[in-house]
Amino acid sequence: MIYLLLMNLSLSNLISRFTFLVALLVFVGGGFVVAQADPITVQARLVLGTSTEQKGKTEVSNAIRKRLAKVFKWMKYYELCSRRIGIVDGATKTAKLSKTTKIEVSNQKNNRIGVSLFSEGKMLVQKNQLLKPGSCMVLAGGSGTDSAWFIVLSKDK
């Protein structure tokens, strides 16, 4: 009889410990999933690079100008269009930046994004990159003799 009572207590204790462990895993796991599902916000800018001054156009920020001027030959950079794109983990969003230009941005988790650049319905370039707040990704578009255009993506903090 005492043996059965001790077995019953051990079994009851084991079941309550197991129930507690399962509840703890569900609670911790549920919080992890919620933290992973936070969207990122990406700022996409269509930028014109040129050597001639364009009256009435907005110049890009000094940080973007310095970044582009290190690599490209243009003296002036103007922001033609800007879009903020919020994307949840694993999702892809499309943003139209001009009549002929659009991008598809994928949130690949852990600060990594994928971008596909389309012009006149044709994909020009695909790029994946780690994009931390304060950094940017640059995609170059068509280049003429006196100008070129770029897509500059940055992640909001």
In the chain, domain spans: 1-36, 40-155
**Contact between residue 40 and residue 155 where contact means Cβ atoms under 8 Å apart:** yes
Q: What are the average pLDDT values for consecutive 10-residue runs of the chain, which has 157 residues? A: 48 53 47 56 94 92 92 92 93 94 91 92 92 88 80 86
* pLDDT at site 6: 43
* Structure tokens that stand for 147 in this block: 């100008």
| pTM of full prediction above 0.75 | no
DSSP 135: -
* pLDDT at site 44: 96
**Contact between residue 117 and residue 125 where contact means Cβ atoms under 8 Å apart:** yes
* Structure tokens that stand for 48 in this block: 């014109």
Strands (DSSP E) along 23-146, which ranges? Answer: 40-50, 58-59, 76-87, 92-96, 101-107, 112-119, 122-130, 136-143
**Contact between residue 79 and residue 45 where contact means Cβ atoms under 8 Å apart:** yes
Query: For residue 115, which amino acid is it?
Result: V
